[in-house]
Structure 1
Amino acid sequence: MFGRALSVVFIGFAVIIPALSLQTINDNVRPSQHHTAFHGTSGMTISWSTHAKLDKPTVNYGLTPYTLWQQASSSESVTYPTSTTYLNHVILKDLLPYRTYYYSVSNSFANQTYQFKTARIEGDRSSHTVAMVADMGTFGSLGLSFNDKYPPALAPGEITTIQRLSTTLDQFDFLLHPGDFAYSDYWLKEELLGYLPFDLATGPQVYEQINEEFYTQLENITAFKPYMVSVGNHEANCDNGGTKGYTESICPVGQTNFTGYINRFRMPSDVSKGVGNFWYSYDYGMVHYLHYTTETDFPGAPDAFGGGQGDDAGPFAPTGAQLAWIEQDLRSVNREITPWVVALGHRPWYVASSLCYTCQAAFEPLFNEYNVDVVLSGHVHAMERNAPIAKNVTDENGLNNPKAPLYLTNGAAGHFEGLDTLNSPLPSYVTYANNTKFGYSLLTFHNITHMTHNFISSASGQVLDSATLYKERSFPY
């Protein structure tokens, strides 16, 4: 009647439950789309999705997969109109630094155990590598794929960025994603192009379907590696992929004012005195990471009311709060403990196309004043590496102890429309550009003076570009 039985292992004993009965009971609360995020050196936020609200989201965890004796819970099971899921968030506290923990969340099936590694303590000078993607959409039938209804961007059988990262988890410690997730806001554009069936009435469902598929694909990475994000314009984009003749009234709620982004993630702004998932910071070994938003909350912000994009998003804090926080955060960095400073925001201002001049006016003076080493961005769907540059003047030292920041733009992870055409000729400060290959970045901090950036082909795994930045440090090793 019920098919084969399933053994469900609890701590210390086992229970035999009919397989079909278990599936029926747990369908709406079955966990999916796990992702993790640092919550300071000694904490980790565990997030996952369910189709029904949980009264008490719970995580069991421990230092081996067989001793999940510690437990943490919360009341955070949140959703929004048009969403098909609830987003559940639990913070694990008082963890040991740089240790592997195993965990399982509410209503998991037997043996559905994942693992993560906590942050290195501040000042740990061991070499470490982080991966970075931006402007990455859903892959497959709902997004970027080989499809005869639309000019193909993927070669048949080509491995995607998510697949490549999933098979190389041992090559990086955590994943950075400065903006533009899933491209579910392109649902109408895909329908008008015949890529998906056209039906305005089902827009919200299609939007959420694309979104859910993206985070399901990403789970093979984010369940195991902390996923640290910054917001992009497609998290508040209501122009329906640039389509004309349709109004904002058909936009799903999650597509407006960063609603989906706000509910899905829990970044450590409470630890760093930032705001939500919009601006925050954390230390990892010898690096201080600062995430900021290029979309709202500064003069001329493009996605804010009157910013020209039509999204009228935010503000998320009083006027001037983000810039004041950035200055305070950068001023407080102890460069003898964390000598490297990396800033991440979505829109670039040193790039071959789509320059954000208001972003430059707002953020560059602070980055120059406080000697930020590397600025990471996306938005342009290509890879561009620049010579270190400040106030539109290239640093004469190049990569050999420059005073100016190194700007790296990599929005080449892959989305529905493929890669961008770059303006020609390229600006003189661009030292490498690639808009023909999908790929991602690996940044390796070898020690307190040397950092290497590699641009990796998603299809082949080959290093397409490599450059090492040297920064002289006046304090002892």
Structure 2
Amino acid sequence: MVGAMVRLGLLASLLFPAWADTPYQQPEQIHIGLGQKPGEMTVHWSTIQESYLRNQTAYDPGDSFVMYGLSKDALTRTSNGTSFLFQDYGDEHRNFTMHIATMTDLLPNKIYYYVVGGQRTGWSAALSFKSAPISAEDVQSRLPMSYAVYGDQGDYNGQTLPSLQIAARKGELDMVLHVGDMAYDFDSDNGRNGDAWMRDIQPLSAAVPYMVSSGNHEAGNNFNHYTQRFRNMPSNSGTITFPEFGKVPNNWWYSWDSGLVHFVALSTEVYTNADYYSMVVQQYDWLETDLAAVDRTKTPWVVAHGHRPLYCSCDNDCDTIATLNRMGFKQPDGSFKYGLEELFYRHGVDMYIAGHEHNYERMFDVSPKWNSMMPWLSGVTTESTIDPPATTYIVTGSAGNVEDHEAFTRPAPRRSAKRLNTYGWSKMTVYNASHIYWQQFQTDSGQPPSTWGQVVDATWLVQNHHGPFSYHPRRKEVENSGVAGLRPVDTISVDMSFWPVGRRLQMQCKHAGHNQAPVCSDQDHSKQMASKGRWQYTKSIDSGNPVDFV
């Protein structure tokens, strides 16, 4: 491997002699994503040099190489990627370089080793990942496949991170699905908060495909950080135009296949701003086409995800915005248009996963039925996990951040199977075309240590009749015996004695404004949380420590 690096460096020095005077910039914030084609894996990283961060006028493209192979000592293949200048809009106007490269022609289900960087910027440590299956036979030999699922994880108080890093280290995860709200926020402290979080997740994101959708905490400066930091998502929905960057791949909504699942990433944020109305229409039209094209013999399961819930029961977040995402916009004739729920039902989406609420709520199947008096109690359910005749809805937004827990202030509706108010992350394990096992792991330092890592909710989701729910053999049960209303459901409470501290931190970060220098910093958050005895050691695994599969 060293010899190959030296040869590459010599070639670079001959082609670009001016590079010799460029200061060293270590590749960092490395994260991988599934490629647009089978047998591909993309990698995204940053190189930051403090002396070039402010008001940079000359763009220095830097090195964008990835070397990879089936052995640490035989990185026999090299791919030359692309780079671009990232610009933060804070008052310091920090600029640094981001890089993207694609590893191609990967053999299925193999451990690959890789390094990123180049002679000028330096090289990363050797990292590794397991390549995705390609053929149906590859998928069957890989099963069961497991996916970590969560939303709303910050750099501060990200209480799930150690558990997730350990799961990745053990080779227990095939992919991560982060359903919005990251870092809290990317643009805080002139983007340094985003840098810190990306470094912290690297032991996870450099080893397991880290797939994302955007949330409200990514909205600063028109989702600038989110759009640029995750350009390596397998966009299949065109481009988005930015004045500074031109057209960039659309990672606001896109889809991909993994094993037996067709995943769909959606932007629920476009429903919250009138300026994005045209994008609501574009996303809806794209989603309708995408869902209609799914081959259920290849990917029988269809799982959609976005940041905001279509159904939830904790507070008034479950009213207007949830209704907009669920039903769309009211038209002059009184009908509703561009709602997601109707498409989910018509095309048989098995599961919709969201975050936004800083708690956990697993629901049963929910069929569309409008409740004009109490919109949050809309929908009817057969309370099924075996052959449900409608989409199953799950909220998993309890990964931990400076805003702490979000209490359930309303009674549980019939559709709620389990509500928890503790930090944790979800794991979805796909066993075959008909069985998924869903678990919730608790990682709450405010709970007894004996419960850390404990499974606090688990269920099988069984579906033998994939496809449009209007053809489901149990569809008549919804009309005849589907229930709505309230039900008693156990909800775990948490020690909220330190809530005012987190709340103050939340307000500080929020009211600093996306175009102003935030007042929060890493040191302030960690010290204040630690002083209250509730600080989880989220950096217990060194972010620079590579994950190595054994």
TM-score (ref. length: structure 1): 0.77
Could you say which residue in structure 1 is the equivalent of 2:532?
none
Could you say which residue in structure 2 is the equivalent of 1:99?
110
Residue identity in the other structure for 1:175: V
Alpha-carbon distance in 2 for matches of 1:217, 1:182: 10
Could you say which residue in structure 1 is the equivalent of 2:522?
none
**Out of 196, 199, 202, which is 1:219 matched to?**
202
Per-residue CA deviation, residues 101-157 of structure 1 (Å, 9 max, x unaligned), is: 111011476781101122222642421110012010013xxxx38xxxxxxxxxxxx
The number of equivalent residue pairs is 392
Could you say which residue in structure 2 is the equivalent of 1:452?
437
Could you say which residue in structure 1 is the equivalent of 2:175?
174
Q: Tell me the CA shift for residue 367 of structure 1.
A: 0.4
Pair 1:412–1:168, CA change in 2 (3 A)? same
Pair 1:186–1:116, CA change in 2 (3 A)? closer
**Pair 1:87-2:87 in alignment:** no
Q: Residue 27 of structure 2 contacts residue 123 of structure 2 at CA under 8 Å; is this kept in 1? A: no
Per-residue CA deviation, residues 70-115 of structure 1 (Å, 9 max, x unaligned), is: 1111232330143453221112222222222111011476781101
Alpha-carbon distance in 2 for matches of 1:168, 1:403: 33
Could you say which residue in structure 2 is the equivalent of 1:242?
none
**Out of 224, 228, 232, which is 1:259 matched to?**
224
**Out of 317, 336, 340, which is 1:363 matched to?**
340
Per-residue CA deviation, residues 378-404 of structure 1 (Å, 9 max, x unaligned), is: 000000001111114333261110111
Pair 1:378–1:365, CA change in 2 (3 A)? same
- Find the residue that maps to 1:165 and give its secondary structure: helix
Bigger mean CA deviation after superposition, 396-405 or 364-373? 396-405
Residue identity in the other structure for 1:173: D
Determine which structure has the larger helix proportion and give its number. Answer: 2
**Out of 29, 33, 36, which is 2:32 matched to?**
36
- Find the residue that maps to 1:433 and give its secondary structure: strand
Pair 1:185–1:208, CA change in 2 (3 A)? closer
Q: Residue 184 of structure 2 contacts residue 401 of structure 2 at CA under 8 Å; is this kept in 1? A: yes
**Out of 412, 417, 440, which is 1:426 matched to?**
412
- Find the residue that maps to 1:336 and give its secondary structure: coil
Could you say which residue in structure 2 is the equivalent of 1:330?
291
**Out of 394, 402, 427, which is 1:408 matched to?**
394
Pair 1:9–1:185, CA change in 2 (3 A)? closer
Q: Tell me the CA shift for residue 350 of structure 1.
A: 0.9
**Pair 1:302-2:272 in alignment:** yes
Pair 1:347–1:182, CA change in 2 (3 A)? same
Alpha-carbon distance in 1 for matches of 2:383, 2:394: 17
Alpha-carbon distance in 1 for matches of 2:109, 2:380: 38
- Find the residue that maps to 2:192 and give its secondary structure: helix
Alpha-carbon distance in 2 for matches of 1:222, 1:389: 33
**Out of 455, 458, 477, which is 1:466 matched to?**
458
Alpha-carbon distance in 2 for matches of 1:25, 1:222: 32
Alignment of 1:25-174 (within 5 A): 28-39=24-35, 40-52=37-49, 53-81=60-88, 82-107=93-118, 112-121=125-134, 123=136, 124-125=139-140, 126-139=143-156, 144=157, 160-169=159-168, 170-174=171-175
Alpha-carbon distance in 2 for matches of 1:434, 1:376: 16
Alpha-carbon distance in 2 for matches of 1:257, 1:368: 31
Pair 1:428–1:267, CA change in 2 (3 A)? farther
Could you say which residue in structure 2 is the equivalent of 1:9?
2
- Find the residue that maps to 1:105 and give its secondary structure: strand
- Find the residue that maps to 1:10 and give its secondary structure: helix
Alignment of 1:12-23 (within 5 A): none
Q: Which runs of 5+ in 1 are unaligned?
A: 1-7, 16-23, 146-159, 188-205, 237-254, 306-313
Pair 1:462–1:302, CA change in 2 (3 A)? same
Pair 1:135–1:92, CA change in 2 (3 A)? same
Q: Residue 176 of structure 1 contacts residue 228 of structure 1 at CA under 8 Å; is this kept in 2? A: yes
Per-residue CA deviation, residues 324-383 of structure 1 (Å, 9 max, x unaligned), is: 111111111111111011001110021013121110011000000000111100000000
Alpha-carbon distance in 1 for matches of 2:458, 2:21: 52
Pair 1:213–1:323, CA change in 2 (3 A)? same
**Out of 349, 354, 376, which is 1:372 matched to?**
349
Alpha-carbon distance in 2 for matches of 1:454, 1:406: 14
**Pair 1:210-2:211 in alignment:** no
Q: Residue 31 of structure 1 contacts residue 106 of structure 1 at CA under 8 Å; is this kept in 2? A: yes
Could you say which residue in structure 2 is the equivalent of 1:230?
213
Q: Tell me the CA shift for residue 228 of structure 1.
A: 0.2
Residue identity in the other structure for 1:340: W
Could you say which residue in structure 2 is the equivalent of 1:292?
266
Q: Tell me the CA shift for residue 473 of structure 1.
A: 4.2
**Out of 298, 303, 309, which is 1:348 matched to?**
309
Q: Residue 113 of structure 2 contacts residue 128 of structure 2 at CA under 8 Å; is this kept in 1? A: yes
Bigger mean CA deviation after superposition, 130-139 or 73-82? 73-82
Q: Residue 76 of structure 1 contacts residue 88 of structure 1 at CA under 8 Å; is this kept in 2? A: yes
Identity %: 29
- The runs of 4+ residues in structure 1 deviating greater than 6 Å are 12-15
Q: Residue 71 of structure 2 contacts residue 113 of structure 2 at CA under 8 Å; is this kept in 1? A: yes
Alpha-carbon distance in 2 for matches of 1:162, 1:12: 33
TM-score (ref. length: structure 2): 0.67
Instruction: Give RMSD over aligned pairs.
Output: 2.6
Per-residue CA deviation, residues 233-280 of structure 1 (Å, 9 max, x unaligned), is: 1111xxxxxxxxxxxxxxxxxx31000111101244444668611111
